[in-house]
Amino acid sequence: MPSKTLDDATEHQGRARVALTAALEKGPSHAYLFRGPRGAGKRAAARAFAAEIVAAGALDPDDARRRALLDPSPHPDLVWLAPRGAQHMVDEVRERVIRASAYRPFEGEHRVFVIDAAEAMRDESQNALLKTLEEPPSFVHLILLSSEPEGLLETIASRCQPVDFAPLPADVLEAQLAATAEAAGATPEELAAAARLASGDLERARLLLSPVGRELRAEVEACLAATLADELSSAPWQRLLARATAAGEDAEGAAREALEEESQAGLKRTAKDIADGAKRAGRRRRTEILDLGLELTALWLRDLAALAAGAEEVVFGRDRLDSLRAQAAKLDPSWARAGAGAVQDTRRGLDLNVSEELALEALFYRLARTA
């Protein structure tokens, strides 16, 4: 399918547009790091930028640009590497980027290698890529895309020119979500809530309008209602964990199926590679959904604080106003603000491999004691 031109792809990213346009005018650098939230347009911008690079010096620039803009692209001088499962395979990074970058362009004067979700490269892959970043052939240009640039080694990030993509404004997300919302049967209020709760992340906004996102929001609401009523004996946080586990299992199954299909199509995959890749995809999805549940918990508390302080106009959960108003009428806004901070502490703590169930139990009992 056709992709967007650079102007179209960076319509809502003024700083990125200026930086990339200037790079094309003076001659692109050998390495870039596109960083910013998911759904901010990094992929579309990278494809459009790469298309302009391979078009420069081509015998037929318009045709080269047209082929490079296709997704997937048949242009032999544009290599796009996306992770298969939770992580990039080390062998693929070595074969399709590091070794392939030594070969001159098949057409024109430039070759472009895009590594999507670059933070999903293992340290081994990143260290192997370092020499290519330090001493690339003159015709090679690398574009790393990352929503979590802290997952990249400093030696990698420091050798790339950063191009920052900002979170998309809520009104832009609403416009882009219109088709998704209609297909999901979402109300205007639910669409507005998803756009604000997503923090500028289009993919997350779409998830919030899906059955998984709706169920997760309902579990968060139930957890906090039980907390405020001091009725935690049923351990409502276990339902949050169950939602995350179910999402992880679905992702693991989908990844296993995709990897097995690739293996049957001739791509080298051992049974262990398939099992390990599927498990990584499942763990990644489970962690993502659990973290989203905690973030939604903090945002609910943030909305309670806003309502308790009389600032209804800044509430994110526009589709839950009745429930939020009823809870906010009975509490001190300082409790809600402190509670949101406690949730964020718990999110950070889970990065240290503490017991998820014990961490959530401690969080909600702490909130109940101080309510």
pLDDT in tens, 176-195: 898 888 888 999 999 999 99
- What is the C-alpha separation between 305 and 320, in angstroms, rounded? 14
Report CA Rg, the chain: 23
Please enumerate in sequence order all residues whose Cβ is within 8 A of that of 362, keeping only pairs 6 or more positions apart, or say none.
Answer: 346
- What is the C-alpha separation between 252 and 267, in angstroms, rounded? 19
- What is the C-alpha separation between 318 and 191, in angstroms, rounded? 9
The predicted structure's pLDDT at residue 38? 84
pLDDT, average across residues 105-128: 94
What is the DSSP-derived secondary structure letter of residue 281? H
Q: pLDDT for 271-310, tens place per residue? A: 888 888 888 889 888 988 999 999 999 999 999 999 999 9
Helix axes 14-26, 42-55, angle to 10 degrees: 20
Instruction: Inform me whether the pLDDT recorded for 2 exceeds 50.
Output: no
Domains in the chain, ordered, with CATH?
Answer: 6-164 (3.40.50.300), 210-370 (no CATH)
C-beta separation of 141 from 112 below 8 A: yes
> How confident is residue 90, by pLDDT bands cut at 50, 70 and 90?
confident
Q: pLDDT for 223-253, tens place per residue? A: 999 999 999 999 999 999 999 999 999 999 9
Instruction: Inform me whether the pLDDT recorded for 215 exceeds 70.
Output: yes
